[in-house]
Chains A and B, each alone.
Chain A
Amino acid sequence: QITLKESGPTLVKPTQTLTLTCTFSGFSLRTSGVGVGWIRQPPGKALQWLALIYWNDDKRYSPSLKSRLTITKDTSRNQVVLTLTNMDPVDTATYYCAHAPPPYSNYLFRWDYWGQGTLVTVSS
């Protein structure tokens, strides 16, 4: 049974760096083809993909946020960490992490399991 859970601060100040951790179970990031990523959703708005990391350390980022994002994995702890620098009130959103199963293929890609999400508010 695959589960994912996001953790991190619920409130950050403008210009600060946000660090979120996704702790998962039921799969391993050592398995060929597996990926874990982050998606966010501002209140009342659309889903926005942020980043993805694969078992082989292949990393993908949203072009619009690439300069501010870093995604890393700790395979032994079953965790994926996302950092987003220079936070702004427009970054207020629910942040989700999600699992991407094999194969290692954009054409056949899907997010099949999602965490419950964590609301991060940016305010001074």
Chain B
Amino acid sequence: QSVLTQPPSASGTPGQRVTISCSGSSSNIGSNTVNWYQQVPGTAPKLLIYRNNQRPSGVPDRFSGSKSGTSASLAISGLQSEDEADYHCATWDDSLKGPFWVFGGGTKLTVL
């Protein structure tokens, strides 16, 4: 069971806006910035959002991230068929045993 909780699945039709949530705690999301990764099945994850809401060069502005308290969200507007992929949130957890990197369980996005 992941430290960060994501819905296992999400879906939308082309052109729609969808959001994916990532719930954590004060020791992880509450204390650090959140990254989002996009993973097309059979390929390596790709950095989509970092520092809660920053997009790397080349990532369309249809993708946006936000964070509030111990939760984060990824929003995809103008949904396209190529957005069908798995999406993972991630951050550091500042546990008493020492910091460790954590991923959410991943959300499979289906474009209907």
A-to-B contact residues, CB < 8 Å: 37, 39, 46-49, 52, 60-63, 96, 106-112, 114-117
Contact = CB atoms under 8 A, between A and B. Distances in A.
B24 interface: no
Which interface class (under 10, 10 to 19, 20 to 34, 35 or more) fits B?
20 to 34
B97 A63 contact: yes
B32 A106 contact: yes
Interface string B39-59: 000011111001100001000
A47 B88 contact: yes
A27 to B, nearest CB: 15
Contacts of A39: 45, 103
16 contacts: A46-B88, A47-B45, A47-B88, A49-B103, A61-B100, A62-B101, A63-B95, A63-B98, A107-B32, A109-B33, A109-B35, A110-B47, A111-B35, A111-B47, A112-B50, A115-B44
Contact of A106 (B46, B90, B94): B94
A108 B47 CA distance: 14
Given A47-B106, A96-B44, A106-B32, A112 B56 contact: yes
A49 B101 contact: yes
